Structure 1
Amino acid sequence: MRSVQVVEAKAKFSALLAAVEAGETVAIMRRGRVVAQLVPDSPRMAADPFRPLWAEQDDIDLVRPADLAAEPVTPI
C-alpha cells in the first residue's frame, strides 16, 4: 500500500486515481496518521449480502405473512 501526505495527494490527485484504477490502494496521511484510503471499487450487486442466506436455505424457514384485510377509509 502506498502512503502519501495530504499536500502530495492534493497536488497529484489525478495520478493517485490512476494508480487506484490500476488496483493499488493509497493511504492519505496527515501528521503521520492515516486519515483516508483510496481503494479500487469492486462491482457489487444488491443481492450480494443475501447470498449466504440462499446457500443455507435448508436451515431457514421463510414464510410469507398472511394478507391483512383492507381497513375502511373515512371521508374527511
Structure 2
Amino acid sequence: MLALLALALHGLLYLSLKTAGDLNIRATAMAKRLLPVVALVTLVSVPATVIARPVHLSAVRSIGLCGWLPRWWWSV
C-alpha cells in the first residue's frame, strides 16, 4: 500500500513539474491531498514493520541507515 501511494505521489509531482495548464493544476491539487496520506501511512507502517519483523531492524543496524547513519549511531 505504501509503495503504491508513494509511486502515485511521485507521478503526480512529476506531472505537476512537467506540464502546464489544467493538467498541472489538477496534478498539483491531487499531490497536495495525497502527501499527508503518504506521510501518515509511512509513520504507521515503519514502526509496524519493526514490531512485526524485528530482524529487518537488525539488518539496518549492521549496515547503517542507507549509508549515511554510521553503525556506531545504533550502538548508543
TM range (shorter): under 0.3
Larger Rg: 1
Q: Which structure has more strand as a fraction of its residues?
A: 1
